[in-house]
Structure formats: structure tokens, C-alpha cells
Amino acid sequence: MRELVAFVAAGLVDKPEAVEVSSSEADDALLLELRVANEDLGKVIGRQGRTVRALRTLLGAVAPGQRQIRLEIVE
């Protein structure tokens, strides 16, 4: 999952070398934290959050079983 988020985010931003994805377990969910360069935050979030919402939908579609995956963008 981390690789998928990193791949998609790197394709969206101007500085793909600054993309970092970390993961941790929280309850029955997998928490993914995405970090990008400050000037690329808007590109990852998108207008009215559409881009990050689409990425979260993609993660929900490929999630194994009933496991919940949460994606947070960290400044």
C-alpha cells in the first residue's frame, strides 16, 4: 500500500524526491502518512479535496479483506 501511495503521489507533484510515505498500525486499521514538499500540498489535495478523496477511494478498493486503510497528509 505504501508503494502505491508513493507511486501515485510522485506522479502528481513537481518534486517526486520529496515524497515520503510512512505506515503504522492503529486498532484494525492501517494508517498511512503522506509527506510532500510544501509547494506540492495543493497538487496532492486537489480542488476541494478531490484528488486525495480519489486516492483514498483507490486504497479502499485494493484493501485486503475488511481492513480499513486511513490516509493522512502531513504538512
Domain residue ranges in the chain: 1-73
SS3 33: strand
The answer to whether 44 and 51 are in contact (CB under 8 A) is yes
Strands 20-26 and 29-35: antiparallel
Please give the pLDDT value at position 15: 95
pLDDT in tens, 5-25: 999 999 999 999 999 999 999
Instruction: For domain 1-73, give the CATH superfamily.
Output: K homology (KH) domain (3.30.300.20)
User: Among all chains, which residue has been given the C-alpha cell 492503529?
Assistant: 26
In the predicted model, is pLDDT for residue 65 greater than 90?
A: no
Pairwise CA distance, residues 36 & 71, whole Å: 13
